Amino acid sequence: MSGACRIIVGASGSPGSLQALRFAADLARDDDAPLIPVLAWLPPGGELADRRQPSAHLRAVWKEAAWQRLWEALDLAWGGLPADLRATPTVLRGEAGQVLIDTACRPRDLLVVGAGRRGALRRLAGCRVSRYCLAHARCPVVAVPPTDLAQQAGHRLGRLLFSRRALTPGTDAGH
């Protein structure tokens, strides 16, 4: 038992977040704690683009699209909201890491995030939400590792991207 008073979970719809949603639901059941799936969103082009050309109508459209992504993620993870959980799905505007640590602001909260695929290529891609949360959260954070299937798929992709073929006379390097 984690003893958490609330369990906050990142819910972007990625394979890692789906695994985190399932794990968080099990923890919430075990602790009889409320579960708060959170999806963070930003306007296309970022905050600067929105400030340059503000549009209340577009903001409403983007927020609705974020809600749609959250409901799709919950359907993929659980087949809809489980009846046996006190779940409060939440959509908030902002950078995902900052939104998650601001939501999980109480000392007895527990923040659950997907760890994403591991590997050198993913580390080069930049700072991920899980790393940000682990470094900045004011409550315990659980980073749920990817499933074996997701891990294997990532390795196959890396092999395809970086596979080498010997050039033989008569072949063109551009084809």
Instruction: Write out pLDDT tens, residues 5-46.
Output: 999 999 999 999 999 999 999 999 999 999 999 999 999 888
pLDDT at 155 over 70: no
Structure tokens at 122: 């993913």
pTM of the model: 0.79
Instruction: Write out pLDDT tens, residues 54-102.
Output: 889 999 999 999 999 999 999 999 999 999 999 999 999 999 999 999 9
What pLDDT does 160 receive? 53
Secondary structure (DSSP) of 135-166: HH-SS-EEEEPPPHHHHHHHHHHHHHHT----
Closest CA to 121 of 154, 169, 163, 80: 154
Pairing of strands 35-41, 6-10: parallel
